Amino acid sequence: MTNIRRSILKRLVKAQTPLLTETYLSQAILRTLRYERAEAGTFGAHAAGTLPPVFPASYNEVAKPKALYEDKLMLRAPLPVVQPIILKNTRLDPYSGAMHKKNVALVWQKELDQKHRFKREFGRSSLIKANNVVYFKSPAESYLTRGLCAVAPGATNWYHWLIEILPTIMLLQNLPKDYDHYPLLVPQEVLSGGTFREALDLFAGRRSVIGLDRDKNYRVGEMVIIPPPVSGPFNMHDHLWPEPEDYINNIGVMQQFRTQTLERLAVTDNEHSPKRLFFARAPGTRSYNQNDIVEVARARGFVIMRPEKLSFREQVQMMYNADFVAGPSGAAWANSIFMRPGTKSLIWSLKEYDGACFFSNLGHVAGCQTTYCFVDADVTIRNSYEAFSASYVLTPKEFSDHLDALL
């Protein structure tokens, strides 16, 4: 029955039927199909209040991916203080990081401004995001009295967890003492151990932590949320690709995050640590001719590294002590924020992502030299979903030419 309801609503939306644009008829149809209708609105406009700033005014410094022999291009603009906001009686979906308040789907101002480019997910059962309107399934809810939000889209991906969420947990240290008893709200998967838990423990301190079940929704009586110091488009509409203007990279917050992480992990110089690292990837999405490329890398003294097999401290220690790191675009590059100033890295990525600043921004934070090599997908790709699984070929000659020019 659920699939039938979903199919009906999809057909109504696709046909742009007037029934979904007339308030009374629309609400009746949606209630019958057990869906709700929400307008996209900003967190700021629907906040119950604000708290004192947790970080002073800084700058947004966005570094465009730089191809070999190109000059570095950086966008720089002032950013205001980082000020937490208070949300009352808000629904939270741990799976997607989506938040709803009454009939409003909450987004940050930049997401709303770029709705014609950014494709924001509002949960597994949401059906359409057009003209600021969202249709989503009404879920069963669990209730939490209070909490500090540490959930966002892609929270169980290493990049999104380490770079977009963990710095906000760091900033929660600076909340007023009255909030010391508010628990952190994190995805349950984070608490299962491994590098996610190791990273969380560095900044959670003695604060209690509540793991949220990805198969549930939660209504939180009072929740504190911090504007993300780092953001970029999670997905984009068809035939649109990331550009530097799409990104926020609070240089002050991220440099503090880098410094505190290195200090808390007690990372040190180690002359015996490998100086040339190659990120190897297990078979799966975005496959490429890795065996051919590994041979070229080994011939130039690179040590093959699988970051997922190491502890968080081991990953950071190796990145900090490396002189050169090479590998395909992927979440492992989140750790490049811990490289030493002046070190080098080579990343290869699909040509559609020549404006995607996720990892070039981290290289800029660390002060290292990041170079990109752009390749063609094996098939025509229309959007970020297709790009995520697209295979490609990086020729050994192109790879060796890049390495020889940089070494």
Q: What is the mean pLDDT of residues 16-45?
A: 67
Element (H, E) at 49: strand 49-50
Structure tokens at 221: 């009586």
Going from the N-terminus, what domains does the chain have, and what CATH number goes with each? 34-231 (no CATH), 265-406 (3.40.50)
Q: Would you give the distance in Å from CA 105 to the centre of its chain?
A: 19
Query: What pLDDT, on a 0 to 100 scale, did the predictor assign at position 277?
Result: 98
Q: How confident is the model at residue 18 (pLDDT cuts 50, 70, 90)?
A: very low
Bridge partners (DSSP) of residue 348 are: 328, 373
Evaluate if residue 359 carries a pLDDT over 90: yes
Question: What's the average model confidence in pLDDT over 11-30?
Answer: 52
Residue 128 confidence (pLDDT) above 70: no
- pLDDT of 19 higher than 50: no
State the pLDDT at residue 125: 56
The first and second tokens of residue 87, run together, are 């949300």
Computed over every residue of the chain, the mean pLDDT equals 89
What is the DSSP track for 51-112?
Answer: ---SB--EEEEEE---BTTPPP-EEEEEE--B--EEEEEEEEETTTTEEEETTEEEE-HHHH
> What is the Cβ-side half-sphere exposure of residue 173, based on CA atoms within 13 angstroms?
16
Give the DSSP letter string of 132-182: TEEEEE---EEEEEEEEE---TTTTSHHIIIIIIHHHHHHGGGS-GGGTTP
Please give the pLDDT value at position 227.
95
Q: What is the pLDDT of residue 24?
A: 55
Q: Using CA atoms of 54, 227, 124, 158 in order, give the dihedral in degrees to the nearest 10.
A: -70
- Predicted pLDDT at 2: 53
Whole-number pLDDT of residue 214: 87
Q: Largest Cα–Cα distance in the chain?
A: 71
HSE-up of residue 334 (Cα within 13 Å, Cβ side): 22
pTM beyond cutoff 0.75: yes
% of the chain surpassing 90 pLDDT: 72
Angle between the N-to-C axes of helices 251-264 and 194-204, in degrees from 0 to 180, rounded to the nearest 10: 100
Give the residue among 217, 205, 202 at the shortest CA–CA distance from 151.
217
Pick the more confident residue, 216 or 243.
243
DSSP secondary structure letter of residue 193 = S
Give the whole-angstrom CA distance, residue 363 versus residue 265: 20
Tokens of 116: 């014609």
| Interval 153-188: pLDDT, tens | 888 899 999 999 999 999 999 999 999 999 999 999
CA distance 372 to 216: 40
Cβ neighbours of residue 193 under 8 Å, at least 6 residues apart?
none
DSSP 271: T
pLDDT tens for 285-344 read 679 999 999 999 999 999 999 998 999 999 999 999 999 999 999 999 999 999 999 999
Would you state the pLDDT for residue 37? 76
> Tens digits of per-residue pLDDT, 377-396?
999 999 988 998 899 999 99
The answer to whether 361 touches 398, Cβ cutoff 8 Å, is: no
pLDDT band at 16 (very low <50, low <70, confident <90, very high): very low
pLDDT band for position 234 (cuts 50, 70, 90): confident
Q: How far apart are CA 104 and CA 35, in angstroms?
A: 14
A 10 A CB-CB count for 59 gives 13
Tell me the three state secondary structure of residue 224: strand
Q: Which two tokens stand for residue 119?
A: 């494709």
- Highest mean pLDDT range out of 55-69, 113-127, 271-285? 55-69
- Residue 124 burial class via C-beta count within 10 angstroms: exposed 0-12, middle 13-18, buried 19 and up: middle
Tokens representing residue 400 in the block: 């060796």
Cα-based angle 209, 214, 217 (whole degrees, multiple of 5) = 90
> Residues 31-85: pLDDT tens digits?
676 677 788 899 999 999 999 999 999 999 999 999 999 999 999 999 999 999 9
Nearest Cα to 403, choosing from 303, 276, 273?
276
Rounded to whole angstroms, how far apart are CA atoms 369 and 373? 14
